[in-house]
Amino acid sequence: MTYLLLFPFALAPSLIWLAFFLRKDTHPEPNRMVLKVFFLGMLATIPAIYIETFLEGFLSSFSLPHIGYLLLYFLAGIALVEELLKYLVVRFGVFSNAALDEPVDIMLYMIIAGLGFAAFENILLLFRLIQTSPATDIFLVNTVRSVQAVFLHALVSGLFGYCIAFSFLKKKQRVFLLLFGFLSATILHGLFNFYIFYIG
């Protein structure tokens, strides 16, 4: 498998899920905004790598039991970082735009940002695998990730987006809903990573 073919192959899971969610939208968003948020979600992967690498070293400097270290790293060192960055993409890339004309749009844009993030994550992983693994293994990994890791990003981002959207309707509970959405997305994401690590 060449690098030229690998790129669209790695993008495919996110694009398939993106098409699925966009078809569910009764008031379609501008294509320009969809592409913008998807691309910004991809770019958010870059700072995530550096922050997660730093936190991995920082957390390992503490004398924690191995299981405690892994849980803390997957929750705070990965999931929290990634959910925060995806939120920032939507917060600064969408909130002030006229395209955001109904609360449910927030959930959709959070999903789009999550799928963009997962797309670049997938590209990096498969481009690393191509150096050591046969095409059959790469195909298997991409297929499994399409229904696991890629869908997870859409799921937890959508959950957080739902809570953000709901907070606009329940202004007295806004802080609680934002924290609940963020922590729920972080915990689900972190526990999924922890589970995947243990089952290999």
pLDDT digits (tens, 9 = 90+) for 115-157: 999 999 999 999 888 888 888 888 899 899 999 999 999 999 9
C-beta neighbour count of 63 within 10 angstroms: 7
pTM: 0.94
Which range is least confidently modeled, 26-30, 42-46, 105-109?
Answer: 26-30
Q: What is the per-residue pLDDT for 99?
A: 84
Q: Are 182 and 87 in contact (CB under 8 A)?
A: yes
Q: What is the per-residue pLDDT across 175-196, written as a single tens digit (0 to 9) for each? A: 999 999 999 999 999 999 999 8
Q: What is the largest CA-CA distance in the chain?
A: 55
